[in-house]
Amino acid sequence: MSQRLKDRVAVVTGAARGIGRAIAERFASEGARVACLDVSAGRIEQAVAEMQAAGHNVRGYVVDVSNRAAVRAVFERIEVDFGAPIAALVNNAAWIRYQAPQDIDEETLDRMLGVGLKALVWTLQAALPQLERSGHGAVVNICSTAAVRATADSMAYCAVKGGVAALTRAAAVDFGRRGIRVNAIAPAFVPTAAALANFNGAAVTRRTESTPLGRLAQPEEIAAVATFLVSDDSTFINGELIIADGGRANAAL
């Protein structure tokens, strides 16, 4: 494995499982020191123990990323713990429910927006001074093809991810002036435990068959794009939404 992120401090939110965990592992394999944030204490403790056992330089932090004060405090602690400013931030955490428009309730919508969109404002605010001081500052927001394509019962999810795409463009303007790049990745269906809880059986088969590559993405393939976007291999890419969907959005299959 190359060492494109050697000694850099990286933060990955929602790192206990799924795509976030794959990103944390890939960053660590590339030489980064990774702060793994998650709201689930049990899951992050176990995931971090497994990653450490595999030789990765990772630490776990329990935090609800939708809580501004908690985010600020944990980002300050990360700099102290690692002894260096954060150079890479991946906003991956999400809490997702698919509901028919008439069934969307206030509590569900608030939580989806809180974790999936509001949290990005808090982490960007908290990380800004550190990203700037690091000299390599780069942010990746995990968006979704839901930002550009809709499916049934996805009104709230599309609103969250459409917001992430727009926020990414806006942040790229403001942060770009400080030498920090902000980009997003839009995966289509990735068969993580969370995704399989929302879709299974025929819905998964349909998604597989309508993908030109004839298969679904693995979390590691999204992690590879995230690695490129925080590395010095993408130093002039800023404000982009990279679609990583095996060609599905462009196909009429």
For ligand NAD, the binding residues in 96-115 under the rule CB under 6 A are 96, 115
Q: Which of 8, 11, 66, 71 binds ligand NAD (CB under 6 A)?
A: 66
Inter-CA distances, 178 with 32, 134, 181, Å: 22, 11, 9
Nearer residue to ligand NAD within complex by CB, 44 or 138: 44
Report how far residue 17's alpha carbon sits from residue 179's, in angstroms, rounded to the nearest whole number. Answer: 31
Active site includes 157? yes
Q: How far is the CB of 13 from ligand NAD (least distance, A)?
A: 6
For ligand NAD, the binding residues in 189-208 under the rule CB under 6 A are 189-190, 192-195
Nearer residue to ligand NAD within complex by CB, 31 or 194: 194
Q: Encoding tokens for residue 158?
A: 């599309």
Residue 138, φ and ψ in degrees, nearest 5: -150, 140
Per-residue mark of binding to ligand NAD, 37-56 (x: CB under 6 A)? xxxx--x-------------
Nearer residue to ligand NAD within complex by CB, 64 or 153: 64
92 makes contact with ligand NAD (CB under 6 A): yes
127 makes contact with ligand NAD (CB under 6 A): no
Q: Which stretch binds ligand NAD (CB under 6 A): 31-39, 77-85, 127-135, 234-242?
A: 31-39
Structural contact between residues 181 and 169, judged by C-beta atoms closer than 8 angstroms: no
Catalytic member of 157, 207, 211, 217: 157
Q: Which stretch binds ligand NAD (CB under 6 A): 35-43, 81-89, 170-178, 233-241?
A: 35-43
Q: Which stretch binds ligand NAD (CB under 6 A): 50-58, 63-71, 127-135, 223-231?
A: 63-71
Report how far residue 107's alpha carbon sits from residue 148's, in angstroms, rounded to the nearest whole number. Answer: 25
144 makes contact with ligand NAD (CB under 6 A): yes
Q: How far is the CB of 51 from ligand NAD (least distance, A)?
A: 14
Which residues are catalytic, by number?
Answer: 157
Return residues touching ligand NAD (CB under 6 A).
13-14, 16-20, 37-40, 43, 64-66, 92-96, 115, 142, 144, 187, 189-190, 192-195
